[in-house]
Amino acid sequence: MMPPNHLSPDDPRAWLNRAKGNLALAKSGITEAYLEDLCFEAQQAAEKAIKAVMIRRNIEFPYVHDLARLLSILEAQGESVPLMVRKAEELTRYALITRYPGFARPVSAQEHAEAVAIAEEVIQWAEERI
């Protein structure tokens, strides 16, 4: 399967396509990959989906991994953020402390499954807005 064509970076669909690619990696179950790395892909999926909504609404965003900050910016601009999407804030840790050896305890299979489920919800929410 081939990834979709590249779109202009100011097209929210470009960001959503990348989010879906990150989600596919997060769900891949590659046995050689650490769950921490797969959770980072889930975090990236959620981050890019949120930024896609921001682009759709013409909201400038900082290039940060802090999903709470990004969602707060969206809410300040009048976007309703449901509780399941707000749970994406939990994924921020996968972009920060779990990316490198020794900074956090290993991620469990349950935590990985939860990260993927949250990322899927965020992407679905974003798709409905784009």
- Here the CATH number for the domain that contains residue 90 is 1.20.120.330
Lowest mean pLDDT among 46-60, 93-107, 111-125: 93-107
**Does residue 10 register a pLDDT over 90?**
no
- Mean pLDDT value of segment 5-26: 92
pLDDT for res 96: 82
Domains held by the chain: number: 1
When pLDDT is averaged across residues 2-13 and rounded to a whole number, the result is: 80
Domain membership flag for residue 108: yes
CA angle 98, 55, 128 (to 5 degrees): 85
For residues 129 and 94, what is the distance between their CA atoms, to the nearest angstrom?
A: 25
The answer as to whether 5 is a domain residue is no
55 falls within a domain: yes
Q: Is pLDDT of 41 > 80?
A: yes
| Sole residue written with tokens 């305890």 | 105
- Residue 37 domain boundaries: 12-129
Average pLDDT over residues 84-93: 96
In a domain, 95, yes or no: yes
Handedness of CA 95, 117, 26, 29 (dihedral sign): positive
The overall longest dimension of the chain from CA atoms, in Å, is 42
